[in-house]
Structure 1
Amino acid sequence: MFLALEQVLNAGEVAALREAAAALDFGDGRATAGRYVREIKANDQARPSPELEAVQAKVSAALMAHPVFASAARPRAMTKLIVSRYREGQTYGMHVDDALMQGVRTDLSFTLFLNDPESYEGGALIVADTVEERAFKLAAGDLILYPSTTLHRVEPVRSGTRLCVVGWVQSWVRSVEQREILFDLDRAIADIFAREGKTGLFDTLCKTRSNLIRMWAA
């Protein structure tokens, strides 16, 4: 399931984070690359610092508080977030994310965009599935969530700077199909409650959702 979430951060939060991120100390992104992708990875990543930790904490809190992100990902654990910068000419070739990062199984990947798409040329996130390649270049504050099992790449930046926060989630529910069923149930339950309140059907759907989570959580 591919999911684009709008305004995970509002305009004020994005501006503050963009300013904080721009002041971070960046190093060569290849330092965190595996042996097979070092030659195709050309970007900058923020080095560890108290200032980076503040950015990571702000974004993590926003994600965990976002109801749609929580419903789609059902996060059990999350890697440390990476502040990633692509300047003119930088790119990341086709690859799949490592299955394990920092002791976390990577079920879902996400990119949170920090600057407006009009401020840089190129730099789209391209995610491939069995049918086609999909391009994502979202507004500042928006996030794309997608399965970590997919091949993906970042197109070369032709001008400007692409600034993002990226991370990976280990879900309580490992199966993509089961997560989608639960996500659909969440939406159905919310819709029924909004239209009819707490009815017998609402209670039955809540029971079904809870029992499915008991069966599938790991």
Structure 2
Amino acid sequence: MARVSQEHLDARRRQILEGAARCFARNGFHATSMQDVLKEVDLSAGAVYRYFSGKDELISAIVKGVLAELVTVFEEVTRQSPPPPLDELVGEVLGRAMRIWGSLTIDDAPAFPRLMMQVWAETARDPDLSGVMDEVYGVVSVAWTRVFEGYQDAGMMRADIPAEHVARTMVAAVQGFIAQQSLFGPVPVEVLQDGLRALMSMAAPRSDA
């Protein structure tokens, strides 16, 4: 019997993960059955169970895979020195994040935001995945903190506010934008960039002499 190449095994595993991710993004982790996954990927039960023992292992693999890819995006983009202007940086970060598993769509809309909502909910339920999320948040926070320290060193941002506080605010803005994509439909990243430009242009009101 001919041996199956590692490339083929990796491609089949990816096919199963992508099909399961579409199902989970569409109906949620716990409303999706293994039968739904088998139908989505058009494979036999034996072919799927060769790679994953069941739905819990599929969920874990998808959550860990998505979070690992997010870490890679943030580390690569925020490593630039000196950092580009914030609106440009956020556009690059979000643009690349939204392209994670970019071929996945639901009703012609990217599936990634809806999948991320499921990931966040699942990490609140599963202690093991919650630990993974904590690690990811730590890495992302450090990356953003490094960016804002760079802005402060360059005189581009006021230095009397801890960079860690600004980083936490930025993480919240990115998470909120992804949540909006999931709840209200696709919105161009340029909308968030425009909002940031407007906020960055604010100045203290002039007092009348």
Higher relative contact order (CA 8 A, sep 6+): 1
> Which has more strand, going by share of residues?
1
Provide the TM-score with structure 2 as the length reference: 0.27
Higher-helix-fraction structure: 2
Larger radius of gyration: 2
